[in-house]
Structure 1
């Protein structure tokens, strides 16, 4: 019997049509579509495990999952794999690379850094309807950036976590939290070693409250220190959120075909 090999698969997806990444018995998810395509391609039941979970309607420009297979790989395998697997996937999910990794590699637990963006635009734009949040009121971005800077001073983000999420810890190490002004809107960039459920959308909701003048920038410190979700702002819509980067201390050279 052949020994199973473990692979990391890098993909991107538009989340509008999906109830998030993770498999659900009564809803369509990205994981379900990917596993069905992998199982068809390899001719065996494949069950992937993702680097995290994204909520309904959230997008990813970079996402990793790992899976195991007994199939043998030859030298030019990635090209045929990418063509084959992408032909089996719907238009809104695309596989970019395949990386062979050691047998204990784990897409979720081995990730050392993740980055998200949240996009906001201020004028109606049909091309941004499902990838950015239309916010009709002006926002004080300078105040929002001052508020965002305080986030770097904390590790416990229970105030921004969805209730009853069941986390073993609410601690995260955030290394970047800032707003970027673009010609057609603004983008919030946030990077951390891990994220809690709903954390980014709750942080953005709180910062936009600051941007509207509801709170002074310093108030975010009191919100974080309260450790209560009820103290923070409402979660913003999922459409503007993108997972943009997931980093590992290893990624072997991608194999080249199947």
Structure 2
């Protein structure tokens, strides 16, 4: 039987999602918990990787189990074993061929910025005190929409067949004294959101024009774009699938 887990985690204490030989990761925590519950070695496959320090409000992972247990029991027992920084929001049975990574139709991220120094957002949001023109940042963000080559915002050493992504939503908004970048697409390249945010901040500061931003997209060259902002402001916020995969 195959299951999908809906997972939230605070990534501050972890070296990202993906299991590593000499570092603590979210995947490792969940695999060890499932293995104890099911009495067998269980591996999980996530919808994608998040880097060290990046958080998730909704990460999806699948696993297979020979012993069939009620979804609610798996969720309850797993939450009892996991540290406070990791939570299982739901567990659902899915079609045997359903795949957390390859069947994902859309993914969404939020990046959080605060411009007034506050100790309560340390590790949860990026403190950026420079004055910003949010209207101009939103104007530039609209240039991201549609299917384009985003090599300028990808890590240089990454194994992908192409750099094309279809961005469906890209906008900035303010909420609870924070400035938030909301972006949703069919796929993302490694490091893409943090590079986008870093470059858009340069537009907001007046160091780049909207026309410059368009030129950077067309350049297909990472050195032309801005720096990657710190990981702790980034949240994987949604991963969506067709309802047909659920049982």
* CA RMSD across the alignment: 1.0
Q: What is residue 63 of structure 2 aligned with on the other side?
A: 67
In the alignment, what sits opposite 2:43? 47
Question: Which residue of 1 is the match for residue 137 of structure 2?
Answer: 144
Q: Which residue of 1 aligns with 2:9?
A: 13
Distance 2:137 2:233 in 1: 17
Structure 1: unaligned runs, 5 residues or longer: 254-258
Equivalent in the alignment of 1:221? 214
Answer yes or no: is the 8 Å Cα contact 2:72–2:90 preserved in 1.
no
1:122-133 correspondence runs (5 A)? 122-133=115-126
Q: TM-score, normalised by structure 1?
A: 0.93
Alignment-derived partner of residue 38 in structure 1: 34
1:239 to 221, 232, 237: 232
**Structure 2 alignment gaps of length 5 or more:** none
| Separation in 2, partners of 1:41, 1:127 | 35
Q: The residue matched to 2:93 in structure 1 has which SS?
A: strand
C-alpha distance in 2 between matches for 1:120 and 1:217: 21
Contact 2:151–2:163 (CA<8 Å) still a contact in 1?
yes
Correspondence 1:119 to 2:116: no
Q: CA deviation at 1:248?
A: 0.3
SS of residue in 2 equivalent to 1:52? coil
Instruction: Tell me, in whole angstroms, the C-alpha distance in 2 between the residues paired with 1:134 and 1:217.
Output: 24
Rounded to whole Å, the distance in 2 between the matches of 1:201 and 1:223 is 15
- Is 1:200 the counterpart of 2:193? The answer is yes
> Deviations for 1:176-214, whole angstroms, at most 9, x for unmatched residues?
000002241210000000000000000000000001110
TM-score, normalization: structure 2? 0.97
Q: How many residue pairs were aligned? A: 246
From 187, 190, 194, give the equivalent of 2:183.
190
